Every structure is written in C-alpha cells, then in structure tokens.
Amino acid sequence: MNYQTIIDKIHLEIKPLLSQGKVASYIPALARISPEKFGMAVCTVRGEVFSCGDAEELFSIQSISKVFTLAMVMDRMGDALWERVGREASGNPFNSLVQLEVENGRPRNPFINAGALVVTDCIILENHDTLNDLRNFVRKCANNAGIDFDTEVAASEKATGHRNAALANFLKSYGNLANEVEKVLDVYFHQCSLALSCTDLARAFLFLAHSGADPVNGQIICGPRQTKRINSLMQTCGLYDECGEFAYRVGLPGKSGVGGGIVAVMPGELAIAVWSPGLNQAGNSLAGMKALELFTTYTKRSIF
C-alpha cells in the first residue's frame, strides 16, 4: 500500500474545505490559529512513517489527551473505574451539564468532559507527581522526550474554562471527585494543552494498533484487554456527539479534540493523525473528518 501517494492525494482534495470550518474561538490561545493549516501522518506497526502538509507542526491536542489518561487509569485501576463513570455514548454535547444532573453525577463515558474530569481525579490519586507522570507517559507513547505542555494554552483554558469548572463542582457535589476542584481543573487544563504534531500523535497511538505494546521498541504501554476496551470506547464515544457519523464515514476507532486534531487506529496495521483547526458544528475537524473518510475509501480498509 503506497500510503504516501494516498495522503498526498488527500491533501490536494481537501484544500477547498480548509476555509469552511471555524476555529475554537472560545479558547483565546486557539482562536489565533490559521484555519488553513493541514497536516496528516501515518505510522505503521512495521515502523514506517508517512506525512504531508503541516504534519510536523505542534498543536494543542485538547480532548485527544483523554485517551492517554484513560490508558493510565485503566492499566492501574481496572474495572473499578466504571463505578464512577459509564461506557455509553452520550448523544449530547461534550460539555453538557444537563445530562450530568439527570444521571446523578455519574458521567456517561470517559471522553465527555465530565467523564474526563473523573479520570483526571483518578490520575491524581494514583500518581504522586501527576503532571510529570502524565507528560512522561505521553513521551513514552510517542517516543519523543521533547513533548511538553503549552503553558499559554493551559492559562487560556483556565481563564475561560467556566463550563469545566461548573462540571467539576457538580461532580464534587455528588461525591464523584476525591480531590479539590482546583487541583483537578489544573491538571485537566494542562493535559488538554499538551502540544504534539501529527507525526507524534500517530506514533503515540501505535500501541492501540498493537495490543498495548509499542511495535517499534517493544515497550508495554498497557495490556491487551485494556487496549481492546480503549479502542471500543473510541469507536462509540470518541467523536463527541458525532460518533455515529464518524463510524459511518471513516469506520475506525478514533478520538478528536477541539484543537482540530483527530487520531484513528487500524488495529494490527497503523495509526493515523490529521490536524485541521477549522471545526464543524459538533466540534470536530471539518477537513480532518473528510481526510480520514478518503483514507479508508482509497485504502479500502476499515474495521468493518
């Protein structure tokens, strides 16, 4: 399969879409990013790397970070996590307060913001130096010791993250946060500010295509059982309230972020990351969705 030829072709085809999405202007540090940016990278379990466009430019991964924190927690807590958070698609916006109230403070899944805050709370309980441990975990997944938080983005999120603060306080009122609200929010804003490139992200998700082990250096990231469950949760819950559309059009487990990134996994074969900051109404990258749809169309490969 000539992946380089395929992604170069996709790059040309999606260019007219780049001006149609809207950047996440509610986070000031993201509002300044040009919607014309586009990068795409494919990393295979054989160690091959293919990329095009702005694939080496760093960007804020935002909610894609929830996959890393979930992997950390599932590997250490196992099924005890599900006493505090569900595993069902939400069908509502990722920052919905209404659903959290109706369901008595137990978030529907770990990829909506309320669920991710519970996972972050678990990370704090399990780690002495939470931010360092999280950063080192992502560095290990991506095999890149230079990965770091974008402090400007973290500060911008803290200054404007009133909805997340409301969710955290709501969770606390139901007894579903063990740590202080401010501490959980600080870690959460930092994890969302992690800056990676498309190539970093595709490389970092390879363990999910290889039963939890890094196929290049053999490091164990998490167990095969946890890997299976993370992939299933990405399939059903990874694209906010557009999971069905993504499954229909792309046919791979994936996770998106409002920074414009989307990562998808073809188990046994590869991980693919795309970045285009212009978002659709659901908060997913407009051109990125199309690029991944074209990728599975041209390769004639998906999980279905």
**Nearest-10 Cα torsion for 164, 166, 167, 172:** 130
Q: Range with the lowest mean pLDDT among 30-44, 81-95, 235-249?
A: 81-95
Is residue 240 pLDDT above 90, yes or no? no
In the predicted model, is pLDDT for residue 66 greater than 90? yes
- Quickly name the fold that domain 3-299 has: Beta-lactamase (3.40.710)
CA gap 171, 175 in Å, rounded: 6
| Catalytic residue status for 240 | yes
Q: Which residue of the set 66, 172, 255, 290 is catalytic?
A: 66
* Active-site pick, 73, 188, 193, 197: 188
The predicted model gives 287-298 an average pLDDT of: 98
Residue type, 294: L
Q: Round to whole Å and give the CA distance between 23 and 254.
A: 20
One-letter amino acid of 23: V
Catalytic residue among 63, 96, 197, 285: 63
Q: What is the pLDDT of residue 304?
A: 92
Q: Are strands 148-149 and 194-196 parallel, antiparallel or unpaired?
A: antiparallel
Residue 144 has pLDDT above 80, yes or no: yes
Above 80 in pLDDT, residue 280? yes
Q: Across all residues in the chain, what is the average pLDDT?
A: 95
**Could you say which of 258, 263, 265, 274 is catalytic?**
258
Active-site residue, from 3, 23, 240, 290 = 240
The structure's pTM equals 0.96
Domain ranges of the chain: 3-299
Tokens 């991944």 correspond to 292
Question: How many whole angstroms separate alpha carbon 42 and alpha carbon 203?
Answer: 8
Please, are residues 17 and 280 in contact by the beta-carbon 8 Å criterion? no
Q: What is the mean pLDDT of residues 144-167?
A: 95
Q: Are the C-beta atoms of residues 121 and 178 closer than 8 Å to each other?
A: yes
- Whether the Cβ atoms of residue 276 and residue 299 lie closer than 8 Å to each other: no
Q: HSE (CB half, 13 Å, CA atoms) of 40?
A: 25
